[in-house]
Structure 1
Amino acid sequence: MKLSESLKSNRDFQNVYKNGKSFANKYLVMYVLKNEKNTLRLGISVSKKVGNSVVRHRVTRLIRESFRLNDYKFNSGLDIVVIARAGAKGRDYQEISSAVNHLSKLHKIVKEMNES
């Protein structure tokens, strides 16, 4: 599966917030909602509370990269919104990737490895 689509419109984000299910950990909050498409759509939100523009973009890139490198593990047909918390500031790739994997397992959106 290729992670090609992203959530862009405010309406899409609001729909996931309103109707989706959320779990959180120290660094991230993840909302998940099933969609009618056969693709995984990812939206990332990093507020000014996390830091300045450079810091926010770095956190966004780390989250996107952790999804890109693990896209084969995720079920398709989902809208996912990831919100970075202030604790994500200054974290390295391993910590952010671990947080993403933790939330994915809580949501049960990870494929079983013997399924593949």
Structure 2
Amino acid sequence: MNKHQRIKKSQEFQRVFKKGKSFANRQFIIYVYRTGQPEFRIGLSVSKKIGNAVTRNRIKRYIRQVFLEMKEEVRQDADYVIIARKQAADLDFHETKKSLQHVLKIARVLRKK
């Protein structure tokens, strides 16, 4: 993920929370805000309640890799904020990918292959 594909500023997160729609499953909550920009951006939120720094960074790495692999399938004109829930700490990469695909299907932001 390039730096311009990440949401970092608090006001950008707040805009997605206020104006976007949320979708969830047991492991993740995703906020989607359609902006009309040429590339999607993602913001990650992994609370200290989930685990130590190693666990939190592993979850963020997995999420970024899933979005990298699904770049062509994910709707491009939106901002996504992904919040990891406690159950996400127990997932390996493939389970994380499956869970994120599930919640993205619920949000209807995946294109057909």
Normalising TM by the smaller chain, what interval?
over 0.9
Q: What pairs with 1:69-108 in structure 2 (closer than 5 Å)? A: 69-108=69-108
Q: 1:46-103: CA deviations, max 9, x gaps?
A: 0001101111000000111111111110111100000000111121011110111011
The 2-side partners of 1:97 and 1:112 are apart by 17
Whichever residue aligns with residue 76 of structure 2, its letter is S
> Within 2, Cα distance between the matches of 1:105 and 1:111?
9
Identical positions, percent = 35
Superposed displacement of residue 38, structure 1: 1.2
Structure 1 distance, partners of 2:69, 2:97, is 10
| Counterpart Cα distance in 2 of 1:77 and 1:38 | 6
Q: Does 1:21 align with 2:41?
A: no
Secondary structure at 1:30's aligned position in 2?
A: strand
Task: For 1:34 and 1:83, locate their aligned partners in 2 and report how far apart those are by CA, in whole Å.
Answer: 18
Kindly report which structure 2 residues correspond to 1:1-116, keeping only aligned pairs within 5 A, or say none: 4=2, 5-113=5-113
Give the TM-score taking structure 2 as reference length.
Answer: 0.94
RMSD over aligned Cα, in angstroms? 1.0
Q: TM-score, normalised by structure 1?
A: 0.91
Following the alignment from structure 1 to structure 2, what is the Cα–Cα distance between the partners of residues 24 and 99? 10
> Which runs of 4 or more aligned residues in structure 1 lie more than 3 Å from their structure 2 counterparts after TM superposition?
none
User: Unaligned 5+ residue runs, structure 2?
Assistant: none
Report the Cα offset of residue 36 of structure 1.
Answer: 3.1
